[in-house]
Structure 1
Amino acid sequence: MDHLTKLENKSIHILREAYANFKDLGMLWSIGKDSTVLVHLARKAFFGHVPFPLVHIDTHYKIPEMIEYRDNYAKKWKLDMIYGQNIEALASKNTFPHGNCSRLECCKLLKTEALRATLNGTGPRFRLNHETGKYEPEKNPTAFTGVIVGVRSDEEGSRSKERYFSPRNQKNDWNIGEQPPEFWNQYKTDFAPGTHVRIHPLLDWTELDLWEYILREKIPMVSLYFDKGEGKRYRSLGCGPCTQPVESTASTVEEIVEELRTGKFSNIAERSGRAQDKEDGGGLEELRKAGYM
């Protein structure tokens, strides 16, 4: 069995364990490469069907092409698609693009607080109606007790402290010191009532692993990852005002794989184009403790 197949098998095992052990389960989909690979793995794990909702936190400032890709992909594969927003913060213009708060404060409002309200069902959620092709307000939303996330340990420092099954409290707060050990592929899936659990099937994947898998599986990606003749492409996707492309002429998946194999970015953080990371001193641990993805 080759390296990618071993990674795939372990991720599929984690997905099936999550589905077997958590009643109200969802999967976060950021439209980026990690979570899109995760959707592909879920379709493989459940024979072409994703048996739980996909959840996107729409900050209103995502690059438009990402939203178009999300909706086209969800319609093509008949995915149960939900998005949540911090409508109050957007309506009051309490955002970084409006100049009324810092980037990190904006992330807290539009991502962390929106995520928390979306997951526990206290905030507005909008569900794709496949008959009309439109999103409609979800009636009587229930809380998700388990959420699958495309986090990788090599992507950013605080994420290396995660577990495959990582418990949070009812407010989604993360206590790093209270995570259970995971030895010899044994995972704790039995938690006290009220515990919110994040599941991370891609934890041991690297950036190169992802792109090699995308190449092998022919997974369609949003075109922002590829150079369009300007000598630039996005390596990590986020909100338009806070995400910058990197210098690169890679215009195909094959060229991205070759670029990563050469070590061009070996000393450059994958999220180096995310301005909010720099504002936080290079890490997102405090935001993540409060529930950030």
Structure 2
Amino acid sequence: MDHLDRLESQSIYIFREAFNRLDRVGMLWSLGKDSNVMIWLARKAFFGRVPFPVMHVDTGKKFPEMYEFRDRYAKEWDLTFLRGECPPIEEMDPSLPPAARSAARKTEGLKRFLAENPFDGIFAGIRRDEEATRAKERVFSPRGEGGQWNFRDQPPEFWDQFNTEFPPGTHIRIHPLLHWTEVDIWLYTQREKIPVIDLYFAKDGKRYRSLGDKDITSPVASNATTIEEIIEELRTTKIPERAGRAMDHEAEDAFERLRADGYM
């Protein structure tokens, strides 16, 4: 197998292992490149159809192109689609910096959604190379009551031996893309011809590398108008993937605080 085949095989194994071991699972869909690859892999793992609900925790502040993409492909991919709403920013921790406070709406929205729709495990499309705090994650990551993440107390995972035996009532986040990189995502998207939101391609010398809320996400300088050009750009750039996320330019511990509290 080549590199992409090995990545695909491991992710499919993670999907099937979680689906077999946990009674009720669901998937978070952020509408971006990573979660679209995750849905694609889930469809492959289960013979063409995702057999569990796919959830968008909606801040109401995504780009119009993202909502158009969601509405189109929720139907085309025959997804069991669920939508959760986020509380107003006034209810968030005022000690957080402004962009992190805005992003915290997703954390609280997810908590409330899971309180109404309990799942034993949730698939999320994070990658270790995306951000330093996420590098501390496990594939099967136990969460406390309310979704809290204790990064200092995570189960060991050696040689793809994943711990799926947790005490009753434990909520699990499952990360089938943890071992992928940004370049891997684009190479696989290119190979599989996975649909892509146009915002990822350069217009007037700028493009988005990471998609979030439109009021706290900015494009980066780029002339890449095709997937081939994006891949070539990523192989030489020194600019971090989340350079356009306002939250990542605030206090150093803001992202870790959000993650510890249950952020995706």
TM range (shorter): over 0.9
Alignment of 1:196-215 (within 5 A): 196-215=171-190
Task: Give the deviation of 1:120 after TM superposition.
Answer: 2.2
The one of 100, 103, 116 equivalent to 2:111 is 116
Task: Give the deviation of 1:283 after TM superposition.
Answer: 5.7
Task: Give the deviation of 1:3 after TM superposition.
Answer: 0.5
Alignment of 1:152-163 (within 5 A): 152-163=127-138
Alignment of 1:125-164 (within 5 A): 142-164=117-139
Residue type matched to 1:102 in 2?
A: P
Checking the alignment, whether the CA contact within 8 Å between 1:37 and 1:219 is kept in structure 2 is yes
Q: TM-score, normalised by structure 2?
A: 0.95
Checking the alignment, whether the CA contact within 8 Å between 2:247 and 2:254 is kept in structure 1 is no
- Give structure 2 stretches of 5+ with no counterpart: none
Matching of residue 192 in structure 1 with residue 167 in structure 2: yes
Matching of residue 251 in structure 1 with residue 225 in structure 2: yes
Task: Give the deviation of 1:282 after TM superposition.
Answer: 7.1
- Matched with 2:90 is 94
Task: Give the deviation of 1:259 after TM superposition.
Answer: 1.5
Task: Give the deviation of 1:12 after TM superposition.
Answer: 0.4
SS at match of 1:6: helix
Task: Give the deviation of 1:280 after TM superposition.
Answer: 3.0
Task: Give the deviation of 1:277 after TM superposition.
Answer: 1.6
Matching of residue 106 in structure 1 with residue 102 in structure 2: yes
Checking the alignment, whether the CA contact within 8 Å between 1:158 and 1:283 is kept in structure 2 is no
Runs of 4+ with >6 A deviation: none
- Deviation track 1:13-63 (CA, whole Å, cap 9, x = no partner) reads 000001111111000110010110000000000010100111111101111
- Matched with 1:137 is none
Q: Give, in whole Å, the separation in 1 of the partners of 2:157 and 2:253.
A: 27
Q: TM-score, normalised by structure 1?
A: 0.86
- Deviation track 1:65-106 (CA, whole Å, cap 9, x = no partner) reads 10110110101111011111125x2xxx7389xxxx822222
Identity of aligned residues (%): 54
Residue type matched to 2:231 in 1?
A: V
- Give structure 1 stretches of 5+ with no counterpart: 122-141
Residue type matched to 2:19 in 1?
A: Y
SS at match of 2:130: coil
- Deviation track 1:248-293 (CA, whole Å, cap 9, x = no partner) reads 11111111112122x12xx221101000121232761110000001
Q: How many residues are paired up?
A: 260
The one of 228, 239, 248 equivalent to 1:268 is 239
- Deviation track 1:155-209 (CA, whole Å, cap 9, x = no partner) reads 0011000001000012100111221100111110011011110000111111111
